[in-house]
Amino acid sequence: MKRLLLAACTVTALTACTQSVKKEHACCNPFFTEYQTPFGVPPFEQIKTEHYKPAFLTGMEEQMSEIEDIVNNTDPATFENTIAALDQSGALLSKVSQVFYGLNSANTNEELQALSKELSPILSKHSDDISLNAKLFERIKYVYENQNKEKLDKEQKKLLEETYKDFVRGGANLDSASQAKLRELNSKISMLQLTFGQNMLKETNAFKLVIDKKEDLSGLPENLIAAAAEAAAADSMEGKWVFTLHNPSIMPFLQYADNRELREKIFNGYINRGNNGNENDNTQVCAQLVAARLEKAKLMGYEDFASMALETRMAKTSKAVYALLDQVWTPAIKKAQDELADINAEIKKDGKNFQAEGWDWRYYADRAKKAKFSFDENLIRPYLKLENVRNGMFLFANKLYGVTFTAIDSIPLPHPEAEAFECKDKDGAHLGVLYLDYFPRASKRGGAWCGQYRRQTYKDGQKVAPVVTIVCNFTKPAAGQPALLTADEASTMFHEFGHALHNLFRDVHYYGISGVARDFVELPSQINEHWTFEPEMLKEYAKHYETGEVIPTELVDRLTECGKYGQGFATTEYLAASLLDMDFHVLKEIPENFDVVAFEKETLGKRGLLKQIPPRYRTTYFNHTMGGGYTAGYYSYLWSEVLDSDSYDAFKETGNIFNTDVAAKFRNFVLTPGGIDDEMTMYVNFRGKEPGIDPLLKNRGLK
């Protein structure tokens, strides 16, 4: 009945209908009232699946009413009554969207996934109804062409410019037939991206390597064995061990398991996700997605999708992207070939005569590393207790920026395993709330990310602080044991914390300029990684979980010494994925029956990719590009690494990696202004010069 009431809304009855629905749901739907929670965070424990759809539909109705008010305003269009009003529209829709999509990534279920599919075409249409509103664009264009008549500040000018460009890029200048086609393509792309992600999650969760013989666990560390036993028990397989395709399970298995046949089995399960010819197969989804994106780009007047996507980024052109990737590819492949020689030498030491395959790389590379440097990565884990690493990154932020993080009790959590902290500035001012959610579960997508349940903005002249979340998939400890992170996991925590600081420090008045270009957004995160294993930083937080002993200098020295070993593999697998992403999106024609797997093999094979190194993400589970977000943009991590390597040199050049003056400049020119300035302008304002590539090559041991 309630759904029918919403569906029956018409434009003429819009306001009355919306008010009726809100009144009907206000008593029980948390989205229709102000959150009565500490710091105004979402009341997660009160939100039920049935609350989302009414809130989404009402939010869209409210925003369309606000758009109608802008369009029907009889006063001449101005920045305030058109641009600012548009920017502030859709408050309820934004409110529910941020919670829904945040939880759909971190704690999903079949009902949420079904609702995602149901809402996808509705939301796509809603977005198009705004961006293709001719009367609205007419007012925006008037303000844009007459902006000299108003005394706009820098932030307002940037919002006006971005709003106008967004509408042009959204199809406002297309004829009616082309706009109709654009709507169709936008809806199709949205649904394909959603389907891709859901298929990937199902494929990842579907695979289980079940071991029932203790001898098959040979080589595996005790903590991994214990976690596998718990996973088996939770799946009603007591006395067995279960390993999955989640990174904290598969990656150490590939690194330590002596049983080569089992390594091959789990490796193939991992690299064939989405390519198994079953109901979750992503091959056709990817082919249709690449074709739809190209069709959209051509409709908008571009020769390929990459040209359209890169127009708003620092790189600007695919030529610039390939120039960077190719510059690093050659030394990376050479380094990988050297590492392969080491691996084959280790195989011979074992008295074996086979050539290394993909499932052998991590296992024998670990042996080669130990042989070269007498260093076992597991030696450092007792010093990387999760809570110590977390406190270390908080201390790092305090030393650089003077901010503090204090645990919050009795606050709604997005998941029972999450933690909450209040961030305060050095003057005690509230900057926001930070959630931390560490461990994998079937309801959480893979990887690590930073998101927001509320974005920073201003309301009635008062700053609204953000609610930020860091979501990871770290190795979950066995019951009663502490969570001891790997070096890579510790680095990941510092990385995502950089995104969190960017969100917490941002101070802009308009949503439309809160973001930065995709190939700039990783700078604040990647620069943080540099501090993770600096000796000065390790001495602050790397303490043995049993004895409290600070990590020995000798161990730090050995960690530093071998830190660049393995960069041939790491850089090559990343570059392969970046090149694959670009190669798909510079296509100017898509053949019938496009075979994306064959295309992947051909395009990477002709570049000389070693058969033992698959791209970090193969096409059918490459969520960064096929799921959206980093489409024609996975190169951004390397582009940002040029920036972060050069930025970190600004600290090192002073002789003090905790130099607060340099940190203040970085915060002022990079972390605070959102997208008010051009990204290279922001960088030069901080650094005093444009960056070079040499610091990156040195950091990766490629020069």
The angle formed by the CA atoms of residues 681, 88 and 55, to the nearest 5 degrees, is 125
Check whether 94 has a pLDDT greater than 70.
yes
Q: What is the largest CA-CA distance in the chain?
A: 85
pLDDT in tens, 327-382: 999 999 999 999 999 999 999 999 999 999 999 999 999 999 999 998 888 899 99
What token pair was written down for 465?
Answer: 């602080």
Contacts of 266 (CB under 8 A, 6+ apart): 207, 209, 243, 245, 250, 253, 254, 359
Q: How far is it, in rounded angstroms, from Cα 669 to Cα 685? A: 6
pLDDT band for 18, please (50, 70, 90 cuts): very low
424 and 458 in contact (C-beta within 8 Å)? no
Look-up of token digits 């990783």: 522
Using CA atoms, how far residue 672 sits from 163, 402, 500, 524, in Å, is 21, 15, 12, 11
Query: How many C-beta atoms lie closer than 10 Å to residue 296's C-beta?
Result: 20
pLDDT band for 25, please (50, 70, 90 cuts): low
pLDDT, mean of residues 271-298: 98
Among 666, 565, 627, which Cα is nearest to 273's?
Answer: 627
Look-up of token digits 């796509």: 124
pLDDT, mean of residues 468-480: 93
pLDDT, mean of residues 482-487: 95
Strands (E), 145-220: 209-211
Which helix (DSSP H) or strand (DSSP E) does residue 687 occupy?
A: helix 679-687
Contacts of 487 (CB under 8 A, 6+ apart): 377, 380, 384, 533, 559
Among 85, 106, 145, 37, which Cα is nearest to 448's?
Answer: 106
The angle formed by the CA atoms of residues 388, 394 and 399, to the nearest 5 degrees, is 120
Check whether 229 has a pLDDT greater than 60.
yes
Same fold, 2-173 and 381-561+638-699: yes
511 and 675 in contact (C-beta within 8 Å)? no
pLDDT band for 17, please (50, 70, 90 cuts): very low
The mean predicted confidence, pLDDT, of the chain is 94
The angle formed by the CA atoms of residues 416, 420 and 426, to the nearest 5 degrees, is 175
- List residues with catalytic annotation: 496
236 and 473 in contact (C-beta within 8 Å)? no
Q: How far is it, in rounded angstroms, from Cα 289 to Cα 330? A: 31
What token pair was written down for 684?
Answer: 């030069």
CATH code linked to domain 381-561+638-699: 1.10.1370.40
Q: How far is it, in rounded angstroms, from Cα 281 to Cα 480? A: 39
What token pair was written down for 485?
Answer: 């992170």
pLDDT of residue 4: 30
pLDDT band for 560, please (50, 70, 90 cuts): confident
504 and 432 in contact (C-beta within 8 Å)? yes
pLDDT in tens, 132-174: 999 999 999 999 999 999 999 999 999 999 999 999 999 999 9
466 and 432 in contact (C-beta within 8 Å)? yes
What token pair was written down for 229?
Answer: 């036993």
CATH 1.10.1370.10 corresponds to the domain 283-307+316-375+568-632: yes
Q: What are phi and psi of 379, to 5 degrees?
A: -65, -25
648 and 627 in contact (C-beta within 8 Å)? no
Of 16-20, 43-47, 278-282, 658-662, least confident by mean pLDDT is 16-20
pLDDT of residue 377: 85
**In 3-state terms, the chain is what percent helix, strand and coil (to 5)?**
60, 5, 35
Check whether 61 has a pLDDT greater than 50.
yes
pLDDT of residue 67: 98
Strand order in the sheet with 467-471: 404-407, 419-424, 430-437, 467-471, 449-454
Q: How far is it, in rounded angstroms, from Cα 357 to Cα 355? A: 7
Q: Residue 211 forms beta bridges with which residues?
A: 241
Domain range summary for the chain, segments of one domain joined by +: 2-173, 207-271, 283-307+316-375+568-632, 381-561+638-699
- Burial of residue 298 (number of CB atoms within 10 Å: 0-12, 13-18, 19+): middle
Q: What are phi and psi of 414, to 5 degrees?
A: -70, -20
Question: Any alpha helices (H) in 632-678, and if so which ranges?
Answer: 636-652, 660-666
What token pair was written down for 446?
Answer: 């893979």
The angle formed by the CA atoms of residues 687, 689 and 695, to the nearest 5 degrees, is 80
pLDDT, mean of residues 313-327: 96
Within 13 Å and on the Cβ side, how many CA atoms surround 283?
15
pLDDT band for 16, please (50, 70, 90 cuts): very low
pLDDT in tens, 517-550: 999 999 999 999 999 999 999 999 999 999 999 9
In the chain, what percentage of residues exceed pLDDT 70? 96
| The residue type at 475 | T
Q: How far is it, in rounded angstroms, from Cα 467 to Cα 552? A: 38
- Burial of residue 231 (number of CB atoms within 10 Å: 0-12, 13-18, 19+): buried
pLDDT band for 186, please (50, 70, 90 cuts): very high
Strands 430-437 and 467-471 come out as parallel
pLDDT of residue 22: 52
Query: How many C-beta atoms lie closer than 10 Å to residue 326's C-beta?
Result: 12
Q: How far is it, in rounded angstroms, from Cα 3 to Cα 172? A: 32
Coil vs helix vs strand at 470: strand
Check whether 426 has a pLDDT greater than 80.
yes
| The residue type at 226 | A
Q: What is the pTM of this model?
A: 0.92
pLDDT of residue 701: 87
pLDDT of residue 12: 33
- End-to-end Cα, the chain, rounded Å: 67
Q: Residue 452 forms beta bridges with which residues?
A: 468
pLDDT, mean of residues 467-491: 94
pLDDT band for 619, please (50, 70, 90 cuts): very high
Contacts of 695 (CB under 8 A, 6+ apart): 642, 645, 646, 648, 649
CATH code linked to domain 2-173: 1.10.1370.40
Check whether 407 has a pLDDT greater than 60.
yes
128 and 51 in contact (C-beta within 8 Å)? no
In the chain, what percentage of residues exceed pLDDT 90? 91
Q: How far is it, in rounded angstroms, from Cα 455 to Cα 466? A: 5
Evaluate the CA torsion angle 117, 119, 123, 126 in order and state its sign.
positive
134 and 651 in contact (C-beta within 8 Å)? no
